[in-house]
């Protein structure tokens, strides 16, 4: 069965319709079941609490700390993962040694690594950013290796026949063709990095939104926790969206370049 393609308007409207249905179901559940507010607050209670949080002077510095940890950690993980992906792609013995372990490394839970980092590195923004880097490193590495591996060998052979050297081949052919996979790994990495920042703050302490969540949990402020989680979702979605825009623009440029005579 062939699927009908959605129009741009329908694609834009679909997430908002889903959000309205989700809020309606949530509100209906609270109205009919009447659970205690500490168990499941109403959407209106969460909205009121979120508004109060956003107007607190202390909220935005905490937001900035978590954002800096997530962004710095993701960029650090990317800066290490991409060169290593190139080495794995180019050096056969390294590829044979590391490839079997790439899948297993992604199963390591961040909450298990955080206490070790606290012992080895200490506390503060640096160790939390390092935890974020570890969380995003392996997904970016795997995506980059896959993208480089899927580059058409005929294109590579043609470039070598034209006299392309190893560096020029990498910069002009392999990395541009692998860019969609690399950006997809980076896009998912940003979302994971926000999770790493929150986990790190909850386990190792800190001054960001993860610490705020801990305080809200201890005071059974469920509506406040919902509000903070919504802010974290918005942060991750914004970072995810920025990379998605870069992906679309790079794809457009690639298409235009490919169509050029």
Could you read off the pLDDT of 182-213 as tens digits, one per residue?
988 888 888 889 988 998 888 887 889 999 99
Supply the pLDDT for residue 47.
93
Q: Pick from 97, 80, 194: which is nearest to 140 by CA? A: 80
> Cβ contacts of residue 246 below 8 Å, gap of 6+?
183
Higher pLDDT: 3 or 172? It is 172
CATH 3.30.460.80 matches 41-99+109-259? no
The domain segmentation of the chain, as residue ranges, is: 41-99+109-259
Tell me if 235 sits within 8 A of 198, measured CB to CB.
no
Question: pLDDT-derived band of residue 258, with 50, 70 and 90 as boundaries?
Answer: very low
Supply the pLDDT for residue 255.
52
Residue the block writes with tokens 């959605």: 6
Supply the pLDDT for residue 93.
84
Q: Residue 165 — φ and ψ, nearest 5°?
A: -80, 180
89: left (phi over 0), alpha (psi -120 to 50) or beta: alpha
**Residue 194 to residue 42: CA distance in whole angstroms:** 26
Query: pLDDT tens, 84-93?
Result: 999 998 887 8
Higher pLDDT: 204 or 45? It is 45
Query: pLDDT tens, 46-79?
Result: 999 999 999 998 899 999 999 999 999 999 999 9
Question: pLDDT-derived band of residue 257, with 50, 70 and 90 as boundaries?
Answer: very low
Q: What is the pTM of this model?
A: 0.82
Q: Pick from 153, 232, 222, 167: which is nearest to 193 by CA? A: 232
The conformation of residue 260, written as its DSSP 8-state character, comes to -
Question: pLDDT-derived band of residue 105, with 50, 70 and 90 as boundaries?
Answer: low
Supply the pLDDT for residue 2.
56
What is the percentage of the chain residues whose pLDDT exceeds 90?
A: 33
**Residue 206 to residue 68: CA distance in whole angstroms:** 12
């Amino acid at each position: 069965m062939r699927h009908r393609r959605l129009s741009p308007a329908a694609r834009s409207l679909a997430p908002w319709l889903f959000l309205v249905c989700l809020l309606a179901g949530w509100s209906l559940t609270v109205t009919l079941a009447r659970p205690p507010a500490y168990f499941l607050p109403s959407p209106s209670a969460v909205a009121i609490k979120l508004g109060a949080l956003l107007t607190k002077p202390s909220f935005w510095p905490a937001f900035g700390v978590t954002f800096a940890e997530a962004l710095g950690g993701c960029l650090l993980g990317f800066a290490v993962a991409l060169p290593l992906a190139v080495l794995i792609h180019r050096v056969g013995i390294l590829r044979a040694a590391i490839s079997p372990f790439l899948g297993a490394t992604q199963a390591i839970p961040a909450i298990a690594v955080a206490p070790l980092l606290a012992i080895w590195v200490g506390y503060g923004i640096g160790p939390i950013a390092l935890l974020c880097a570890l969380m995003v490193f392996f997904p970016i590495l795997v995506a980059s290796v896959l993208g480089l591996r899927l580059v058409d060998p005929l294109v590579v052979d043609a470039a070598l026949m034209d006299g392309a050297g190893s560096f020029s081949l990498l910069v002009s052919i392999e990395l541009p063709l692998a860019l969609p996979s690399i950006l997809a790994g980076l896009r998912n990495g940003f979302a994971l990095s926000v999770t790493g920042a929150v986990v790190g703050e909850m386990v190792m302490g800190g001054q960001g939104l993860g610490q705020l969540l801990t305080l809200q949990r201890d005071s059974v402020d469920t509506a406040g926790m919902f509000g903070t989680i919504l802010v974290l979702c918005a942060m991750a979605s914004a970072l995810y969206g920025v990379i998605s825009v870069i992906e679309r623009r790079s794809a457009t440029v690639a298409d235009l370049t490919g169509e050029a005579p």
